[in-house]
Amino acid sequence: MLLNEIYTELYITEGGSGEVNNEHEVRQIEMAARTQSSTDDTPIKCNDIFKPLLGQDKLIKTMLTKGVAGIGKTVSVQKFIVDWAEGEANQDVHFIFPLPFRELNLINTQPFSLKGLVHNFFPQIKDMNFTHIADHNTVFIFDGLDERRLSLNFLNGAVITNATDKTTVDNLLTNLINGNLLPSAKIWITSRPAAAGQIPLEFISQVTEIRGFNDPQKEEYFKKRITNQSLADRTITHLKSSRSLYIMCHIPVFCWISATVLEKMLRDAEGTTIPRTLTQMYTHFLIIQTCIRKEKYVQTGHVDKEMIFKLGQLAFKQLIKGNLIFYEEDLKECDIDVKDAVVYSGVCTQIFREESELYLGQAKVFCFVHLSIQEHLAALYVYVSFSEGNKVVLNQWNPAKIFDLFLRFLLGLSQESNQSLLQMLLPHISACGSQNVEQTIEYIKIRLRMNLSPEKYINLFHCLNELNDSSLQDEIQNLLSARRLSKTKLSPALWSALVFVLLTSEREVEVFDLRKYRWMRISHRMLLEYKNINKSILLASALNSNPLHLRELDLSFNFLGDFGVKQLSEVLRNRSCRLEKLKLFSCELTAKSCVALSTALKSNTSLTELDLSKNALRDSGVKQLSAGLRNSHSKLRSLSVALRQSCQMGRKSKYCGLTVIGCSSLCGALRSKFSYLSELYLNFNSLRDTGVRFICECLKQPHCKLEKLR
C-alpha cells in the first residue's frame, strides 16, 4: 500500500532536554499511553518539524527527534521527503539528503569528503556543482542514531570546513552537526531515547518526541489500513476490550501487526479464538507470515519449522548481546542462508542497496521488523530448547539485559491454551503441564511480596495476565466496588495490585487519600513492615503514568522520608503533571526533602498547595524552599511549615525548627515579584519578634500577595 494511502499523522510534541532515558521502552510506551490522551502539549505536524513553535522566534538548525522502536521515526522521515518531493510541503527546501546510520555503518572504514559522500549516495547529482548545492537551503537527515557504529567524537575530532576535504565518515558527521561544515544546512537526527544523549545539547536547537498514536489516531489508522469498514470497527472494538493490547497500539508497528492478524481472524472468525494477549497476537502473526511464505514460494512445512527455530536462535543470541541490527556472519553462525532469511520479509528485513556501486562487496545488514518480534522469536527459541531438554539455554539469560516483553512471551508460550497455536508452527513440541503453570503463578506471587523496583512489579502483573491469572487485580477491584478498600489491611502483593489497577484502569483518578487506609496509620512498626518508602516509589511510578488526572494527593502520616519525597519530586518535574494539592504532614522529612522539592517547584506550574507541617525542615530546608518559590514557574499559593509534634502528656512541643533565619529566607521569597504565595502557615515556630517584623515589612511590599497568615 502506498504511504499516502495509510499514513496517519503521529503524535509529535516538543520533547524536553534530550537527556538519556534508561527506562525500558515498553514502560515508556505505557506512560505515553496514559499521558497523551488529554495532554495540553501542542502537537507538531511532521512537515512542520523545522518551524518554530508558537511564541518562539529562534532558527531551528539541528532537530533531534526521539521515539521508541517502531513508534514511527523512519516513517515520519519518509513522509517529510515524499510530501516535499511531490510539492505538498517545505518548498523552500532545495535539497534533502537522507543518510541513515544503517547505511553509513557500511562505509565507516573509508575516507570521504562531504562532496564524495553525497555523490556516492546520490549519483544522479554528480554533474552538479557542489558549491551551488551548498548555497541553497539543504536538509541532511540522519535516521537511527541508536543504530550507529560510528565513533562520534565532538571533543577531539579534526575540524573540517571544506566540503572537498577527505576525512572519516564519523568526523564528517560531527563537523556537519556542530556547524563547521555547511553552517547554513539544517540537520534532522532521529534516535531511540536511550541513545539520544550521544549528541551534546549545545549542538541541538530543539528536541521533539514521537509518542506514536493517540486514541483517535489509532482508529484512523485501522480504518485506513483495513478497507472493510465493518471489519475495521470490529478490530477496534476487540482491541479496546483488552487494555494491554490497546496500550501497545500506541506503537504504529503493533497496529500493523494487529491489523494483519485481526483482519484475517475476524473475517474467518467461526470456531477460532481471537487473540487477547500479546503472546497470542504475536504467535498468530508468525503463523500468518509462515502461510504467506508457503503460498508465495510453495515450500514444505519442514523447511519452515527449521527456519523459525534458526531465526529464534538468531533473535536470542543478538538479544543477549544487545544487538538490534546484525550482519551476514551472524546469520551464518545460526546456519541461516541469507536468501532464506530475506523471504521472511514480515519478520526479518535485509537492509542494503544493490543498485549503488558503493555497496558492491560490502556486508549486508539485517534486523527484525521490530524489537518485539525479536523478543517473541527469542522466547520461542528458549521455550522450544527447554522443552526438548536443553536446560542450559536459560543460563545464558541475563535478566539485567533481556527486555521485558521476552519474559511475558516466554511465560505466555507456556500457557496451556497456547499449545495448539505452537503446534501449528512446531508440531513436535511437547506441551507444558498445567501444574507447571500453576507453580509459575504461585512463584510470581511470592516475588510480588519482595522488595522490587516499580518496573518489575508492573511487569510481573503483565506476566500474570499472559498466564491468564488476574486474581490479585480481581480482589482489588472487588474491594473498590464494595467500597471496602479503606477498611482492609492490604498485603504488599495487593498493594502492588492496587498500583497496577490504577495504572491500567481507564477511570480517571482525581483524589487518592492514603489517610483513609487503616493499615497506613502512624504505627512505625506497621509502616516499616509494609515498606512505605517502596510504596512511595510505586506511587511515583503510577503518577508518572497517570499525571494528568490526579489533582490531590494526601500522603500524611506515612514514613516516606527524604528518599520517598525525592521520588515524588521527580513526578512534579514532569511537564504533564497536573497535581494541585500535595499534603506531606508528618512524613519524617528533613532539609534534604526541601532540596528535591525546591528543584521541582522551579519547573512545576500546577502545584498550588503544599503542606509540610510536622516535619523537621529547619532553617536550611526552608531556605531551599524559598529559592524554589522565587522562580517564575512556581504557582504555589499555600505553604504550611508548621508544628512538628504537639504537646502530649506534659512534654514540651517540638517544632519544624524554623527560626528568624528561616523566616528571613521566606520573606525574601514573599518580596519577589514571581511569588504567588497567598497563604502561609508558620504555627509553633521560634520566629520571635524579629521574624514577625520581617513579615510585616513584606506585607508593605507591592509584590506581596499574602492573604492568610498564621
Residues 433-466 have pLDDT tens digits of: 667 888 899 999 888 877 776 667 778 888 898 8
The predicted model gives 39-59 an average pLDDT of: 77
Q: Where are the alpha helices (DSSP H) in 397-511?
A: 404-413, 419-425, 434-447, 454-466, 471-481, 492-504
- Exposure of 386 by Cβ count < 10 A (0-12 exposed, 13-18 middle, 19+ buried)? middle
Count other C-beta atoms under 10 Å from residue 491's C-beta: 16
Residue located via cell numbers 518489575: 456
CB atoms within 10 A of CB 509: 15
* DSSP SS3 for 44: coil
Neighbours of 244 (CB within 10 A): 17
Query: Residue 268 pLDDT more than 50?
Result: yes
Residue 404 has pLDDT above 50, yes or no: yes
| DSSP conformation letters of 254-304 | HHHHHHHHHHHHHHT-TT-PPP-SHHHHHHHHHHHHHHHHHHHH---HHHH
| In contact, 43 and 13? CB cutoff 8 Å | yes
Looking at residue 210, its amino acid is I
DSSP string computed for 622-656: HHHHHHHHTSTT----EEE---SB---TTPPPB--
pLDDT band at 400 (very low <50, low <70, confident <90, very high): low
Quickly state the pLDDT bin for 522 (edges 50, 70, 90). Answer: very low
DSSP H/E element including 568: helix 561-573
What average pLDDT does the segment 328-337 reach? 87
Is pLDDT larger for residue 220 or for residue 28? 220
Q: What is the DSSP string of 209-235?
A: EE----HHHHHHHHHHH-S-HHHHHHH
Q: Over range 589-612, report the average pLDDT.
A: 89
Note the pLDDT of residue 380.
92
Please name which of 581, 648, 571, 626 lies closest in space to residue 603, comparing C-alpha atoms: 571
pLDDT at 259 over 80: yes
**What pLDDT, on a 0 to 100 scale, did the predictor assign at position 5?**
76
In this prediction, residue 190 carries a pLDDT of 93
As a whole-number percent, the residues of the chain with pLDDT over 90 amount to 19
The larger pLDDT score, comparing residue 204 to residue 490, is at 204
Q: Provide the pLDDT for residue 356.
A: 39
> Which of 67-71, 412-416, 536-540, 667-671 has the lowest average pLDDT?
536-540
DSSP classification of residue 519: G
Q: What angle do CA 77, 80, 86 make, to 5 degrees?
A: 135
- pLDDT value at 638 more than 60: yes
Domains and CATH numbers, the chain: 3-212 (3.40.50.300), 277-432 (no CATH), 433-507 (no CATH), 511-709 (3.80.10.10)
pLDDT of residue 618 exceeding 90, the answer is no
Judge whether residue 505 has pLDDT over 90.
no
Q: How far apart are CA 377 and CA 408, in angstroms?
A: 12
Pairing of strands 325-327, 365-368: antiparallel
For residue 351, the model assigns a pLDDT of 46
DSSP assignments along 132-150, one per residue: HHHTS-EEEEE--GGG--S
Average pLDDT over residues 283-312: 76
Q: How does 161-189 read in b/e, with b if 16+ C-beta sit within 10 Å?
A: eebebbbbbbbbbbbbbbebbbeebbbbb
pLDDT of 17 strictly over 60 = no
Q: Using one digit for the tens of pLDDT, what is the confidence trace for 188-214? A: 999 988 788 888 888 998 888 888 888
The model carries a pTM of 0.68
Compute the Cα dihedral for 66, 68, 74, 79 and give only its sign: negative
Instruction: Please state the rounded mean pLDDT for residues 402-411.
Output: 83
Per-residue model confidence (pLDDT) at position 514: 52
Q: Which of 100, 120, 64, 170 is nearest to 325 (CA)?
A: 100
> Is 61 in a helix, a strand, or coil?
coil
